[in-house]
Chain A
Amino acid sequence: MHLIHSNEIIADNIGKMVVEAEYTAMHRKAGQFVIIIIDEFGERVPLTIAGADKGAGTITLYYQIVGKSTSKLSMLKSGEYLKDVAGPLGHPTEVKKFGTVLCIGGGIGIAPVYPIASAMKEAGNRVSGIIGAREGGLLILENELSQVCDTLQVFTDNGSAGRKGFVTQGLSEILESEKIDLVVAVGPVPMMKAVSEITKEKNIKTFVSLNSVMVDGTGMCGGCRVTVGNETKFTCVDGPEFDAHLVNFDELLLRLNTYKDEESACFTEHKHKCRLDGVTKNG
């Protein structure tokens, strides 16, 4: 059982949780993730470790409320518990001095970008950041990233925060004006694909961190398989980061829809139940 120190909604439908996980906090490196199980009925949910406090033995997780599990997660209060936290899992990001590293985060993908940007900065790189979201209310970690990055650009689809447009716009502009040695991009699949297409043309090494559907997260089920350079790789143990120029994003996008029907039925039922509970409680 893992004690929840805090859990708050920090943007529209985006939550931030600080939870006890001593071993994970001790060992985690940028780019790694955990799998959590909320309660005895819970599924195994992979979440990137956005930060850790070794002294307190806690880790920080960000999540977007998209279905039943993340909705349940958002309702937990400090003082309550997560049933399981497994991790750190996956390969850490390759952190070394590359020169100038451009970190791009989209939506909830900004959360995994933050520890990577921090680690790259610590390793002596010049770090530029570009973050984007559909609208201002969905932006996270802007202040934290502006502390770590030498420059930070913000985009929203509707212009409600930062500039109106997509992160790819910022990417193209930066590539015009300065030499970038490495791009790290995490976000929705179409964003990562678009970034990858631009950097491939310019031949700039690019890593993406994938958010495939997972079960065990230890290489045993293959549910998270993804085609990388015509080879099947498991995101959980071979990744989660891969050379963007080799990833088959179209296949990944289709696989992410696998449980759309089941999940939406389950989420609808869950919301219905929550409302019923609300009626009873208020009642």
Chain B
Amino acid sequence: MAERIPRQTMSEQNPLERIKNFNEVPLGFSTETAVIEAKRCIQCKNPNCVEGCPVNVNIPGFIKEAAEGNFLKAVEIIKGTNSLPAVCGRVCPQESQCEKLCILGKKFEPVAIGKLEGFVADYERKVEHLNPEKPECTGGRKVAVIGSGPAGLTVAGEMAKCGHGVTIFEALHSPGGVLVYGIPEFRLPKEIVHYEIDQLVKMGVEIIPNRVVGISESLDDILERFDAVFVGTGAGLPSFLNIPGENMQGVYSANEYLTRVNLMKAYQFPHYDTPVIKGKSIAVFGGGNVAMDSARVARRLDCNEVHLVYRRSRSEMPAREEEIHHAEEEGIIFDLLSNPVRFIGDEKGKLTGVECVRMELGEPDDSGRRRPVEVKGSEFVIYIDVAIIAIGNGPNPIVQKSSPGLETNKWGNIVADDETMKTSKKGVFAGGDIVSGAATVIEAMGAGRKAAAAINDYLATGEW
């Protein structure tokens, strides 16, 4: 009677404790709990969950092995289509993908697919190491990957498996893209990302850090040395609010704030050299995962008053429910239906506050969500010394600027075929946020898998 066992919960660090550290919030399943949870899966013949996964992980397959305690086998099954299970187990929005479609969810709680994925991947990393897969075929061609985020890492892994020589060009000093500069340690320990990247290096992938393609070298220059190029440069161009006072000291883009803290380890300043302003009162603007990450980071930097200012209501927030819940538990103050109008500062240009206006929800807009409308005369001021703007990111423009032949859309995203990820430029493929606009880790990996398959075809046939 599988369905009578309740969904196993994972214990978490107590909110009052965890706001004093950057350690991961969930504490992981024990082996016993993982097996109990895995046994809840009823092994559907036509599993809906697989359809809900952008990379179509064989979910019942890996869970069956996990239920029998064959954790290593379970990881191998996942790695057949998903090269970063420890990452995806943590940051995928399972509630709107695989778990949403789990049949058990109709009457009971869905199987904790994400938590199980994370568990078996952690088991592999911590207990028994899998050797990186040997090349399945010997392609022997040279593929360049620009950007080492989730899309680029996926392409690199798939190409290396096929025996092609892969070189990743990464602009920053440390590979991983958004996994290292954006997502905080308490949500995704960097040790995991470094491990996955080490696996790629063991498979023969070459990583050149500190290399910004598009400044000194164009795509054409890269194509002279490689048989195919994959562009996975992501959505890293921060949007600002375009309101008065935005360039005052203390106003950050979420990218800057998170990069300082996550990548440069400003939370350990002055042990590490990169500073970040530790505000006494901080406001984060936005309602997505990046806003939640920023607010929760601020809370961990000894700030007792962290506001999250969002112009719609809680139910329209694009962030994952789990992240919103964690933020609430950690004492983030939600100023909903509020929109910033201008920043206020002192004579030295230091931020002292933000004037906001109340909003109400009107008719639905293009996104289907009800459009927020200003309530006249409802202005109010929040006194803050740090503001973090987390209202989205546009595509990184550098590669496109250097490649006039590369077709882009009106937002500057690279145009690529939905199935093959081919761009308008022969030999150049693109995928992830640089094509789709800001989306999820797993969607970027899905695009990476499609691109890898198409690159293989192209390298074999030369047909475009």
Hey, which bits of chain A sit against chain B, CB under 8 A? 23, 27-28, 35, 37-38, 41-44, 68-69, 72, 83-90, 215-216, 218-223, 225-227, 232, 237, 251, 254-255, 257-259, 262-263, 265-266, 269-270
Q: Identify B256's interface contact among A23, A35, A221, CB under 8 A.
A: A221
Alpha-carbon distance A187/B172, docked complex (angstroms): 28
Which of chain A's residues has its CB closest to B173's CB?
A84
Q: Identify B215's interface contact among A38, A88, A255, CB under 8 A.
A: A88
Determine the chain A residues whose CB is within 8 A of the CB of B15 once the complex forms: none
Alpha-carbon distance A218/B172, docked complex (angstroms): 8
Contacting chain A: which of B269-277, B418-426, B453-461?
Answer: B269-277
- Taking the closest CB of chain A, its distance from the CB of B439, in whole angstroms, is 17
Q: Say whether, besides A42-B273, A43-B274, A215-B264, A220 and B247 are in contact (CB < 8 Å).
A: no
Alpha-carbon distance A219/B233, docked complex (angstroms): 12
Whether A88 lies near B216 (C-beta < 8 A) is: yes
Whether B249 lies near A257 (C-beta < 8 A) is: yes
Known: A28-B216, A68-B273. 10 other contacts (CB 8 A): A41-B273, A44-B264, A86-B209, A86-B211, A216-B259, A232-B242, A251-B247, A254-B349, A258-B277, A265-B270
Give a binary string over B245-267; 1 marks a CB under 8 Å from any A CB, 0 the rest.
01111101101100110001100
Determine the chain B residues whose CB is within 8 A of the CB of A37 once the complex forms: 173
Alpha-carbon distance A82/B458, docked complex (angstroms): 40
Alpha-carbon distance A35/B253, docked complex (angstroms): 20
User: In residues 204-250 of chain B, which contact A (Cβ within 8 Å)?
Assistant: 209-212, 215-217, 236-238, 240, 242, 246-250
Alpha-carbon distance A220/B253, docked complex (angstroms): 9
Which of chain B's residues has its CB closest to A40's CB?
B272
Determine the chain A residues whose CB is within 8 A of the CB of B171 once the complex forms: 86, 216, 218
Which of chain A's residues has its CB closest to B345's CB?
A254
Alpha-carbon distance A266/B266, docked complex (angstroms): 12
- Taking the closest CB of chain A, its distance from the CB of B397, in whole angstroms, is 7
Q: Say whether, besides A37-B173, A86-B171, A262-B269, A219 and B275 are in contact (CB < 8 Å).
A: no
Which of B216, B217, B349 has most chain A Cβ within 10 Å?
Answer: B216
Which of B249, B253, B270 has most chain A Cβ within 10 Å?
Answer: B270
Whether A23 lies near B211 (C-beta < 8 A) is: yes
Determine the chain A residues whose CB is within 8 A of the CB of B349 once the complex forms: 251, 254-255, 257
Q: Say whether, besides A215-B264, A232-B247, A41 and B398 are in contact (CB < 8 Å).
A: no
Whether A218 lies near B212 (C-beta < 8 A) is: yes
List 21 A–B pairs whose Cβ atoms lie within 8 Å, in order of A's numbering.
Answer: A23-B216, A27-B216, A27-B217, A28-B216, A41-B272, A43-B272, A43-B273, A84-B173, A215-B274, A219-B237, A219-B396, A220-B181, A220-B237, A221-B238, A221-B256, A222-B238, A222-B256, A257-B349, A258-B250, A259-B275, A262-B270
- Taking the closest CB of chain A, its distance from the CB of B221, in whole angstroms, is 10
Determine the chain B residues whose CB is within 8 A of the CB of A41 once the complex forms: 265, 271-273
> Is B45 in contact with chain A by the CB < 8 A criterion?
no
> Is B4 in contact with chain A by the CB < 8 A criterion?
no
Whether A262 lies near B275 (C-beta < 8 A) is: yes
Q: Say whether, besides A44-B264, A257-B249, A86 and B259 are in contact (CB < 8 Å).
A: no
Q: Say whether, besides A220-B238, A258-B249, A266 and B256 are in contact (CB < 8 Å).
A: no
Whether A220 lies near B249 (C-beta < 8 A) is: no
Q: Closest 6 CB pairs between A and B?
A: A254-B349, A86-B210, A221-B256, A27-B216, A262-B275, A220-B236
Whether B259 lies near A221 (C-beta < 8 A) is: yes
- Taking the closest CB of chain A, its distance from the CB of B414, in whole angstroms, is 16
Whether A219 lies near B240 (C-beta < 8 A) is: no
Alpha-carbon distance A258/B276, docked complex (angstroms): 9
Which of chain A's residues has its CB closest to B246's CB?
A232
Alpha-carbon distance A225/B256, docked complex (angstroms): 11
Q: Identify B249's interface contact among A83, A232, A255, CB under 8 A.
A: A255
Alpha-carbon distance A69/B274, docked complex (angstroms): 9
Whether A266 lies near B264 (C-beta < 8 A) is: no
Hey, which bits of chain B sit against chain A, CB under 8 A? 171-173, 181, 209-212, 215-217, 236-238, 240, 242, 246-250, 252-253, 255-256, 259-260, 264-265, 269-277, 348-349, 396-398
Whether B212 lies near A89 (C-beta < 8 A) is: yes
Which of chain A's residues has its CB closest to B271's CB?
A41
Whether A220 lies near B269 (C-beta < 8 A) is: no
- Taking the closest CB of chain A, its distance from the CB of B277, in whole angstroms, is 7
- Taking the closest CB of chain B, its distance from the CB of A117, in whole angstroms, is 22
Determine the chain A residues whose CB is within 8 A of the CB of B274 once the complex forms: 43-44, 215
Determine the chain B residues whose CB is within 8 A of the CB of A89 once the complex forms: 212, 215
Q: Say whether, besides A89-B212, A257-B348, A258-B249, A269 and B270 are in contact (CB < 8 Å).
A: yes
Whether B255 lies near A220 (C-beta < 8 A) is: yes
Determine the chain B residues whose CB is within 8 A of the CB of A262 once the complex forms: 269-270, 275-277
Q: Identify A222's interface contact among B212, B242, B255, B398, CB under 8 A.
A: B255
Which of chain A's residues has its CB closest to B208's CB?
A23
Determine the chain B residues whose CB is within 8 A of the CB of A265 once the complex forms: 270
Whether B256 lies near A237 (C-beta < 8 A) is: no
Whether A227 lies near B273 (C-beta < 8 A) is: no
Determine the chain A residues whose CB is within 8 A of the CB of B398 once the complex forms: 218-219, 237
- Taking the closest CB of chain A, its distance from the CB of B215, in whole angstroms, is 6
Determine the chain A residues whose CB is within 8 A of the CB of B396 once the complex forms: 218-220
Alpha-carbon distance A43/B247, docked complex (angstroms): 22
Which of chain B's residues has its CB closest to A39's CB?
B273
Which of chain A's residues has its CB closest to B255's CB?
A221
- Taking the closest CB of chain A, its distance from the CB of B293, in whole angstroms, is 15
Alpha-carbon distance A189/B277, docked complex (angstroms): 23
Alpha-carbon distance A257/B250, docked complex (angstroms): 11
Whether B269 lies near A222 (C-beta < 8 A) is: no
Which of B212, B249, B349 has most chain A Cβ within 10 Å?
Answer: B212
- Taking the closest CB of chain B, its distance from the CB of A29, in whole angstroms, is 8
Determine the chain B residues whose CB is within 8 A of the CB of A221 once the complex forms: 238, 253, 255-256, 259
Alpha-carbon distance A156/B253, docked complex (angstroms): 40
Determine the chain B residues whose CB is within 8 A of the CB of A227 once the complex forms: 247
- Taking the closest CB of chain A, its distance from the CB of B394, in whole angstroms, is 10
Alpha-carbon distance A215/B171, docked complex (angstroms): 12
Whether B249 lies near A254 (C-beta < 8 A) is: yes
Which of chain A's residues has its CB closest to B397's CB?
A219
Whether A216 lies near B270 (C-beta < 8 A) is: no
Alpha-carbon distance A260/B3, docked complex (angstroms): 60
Alpha-carbon distance A42/B246, docked complex (angstroms): 28
- Taking the closest CB of chain A, its distance from the CB of B407, in whole angstroms, is 21
Determine the chain B residues whose CB is within 8 A of the CB of A258 once the complex forms: 249-250, 277
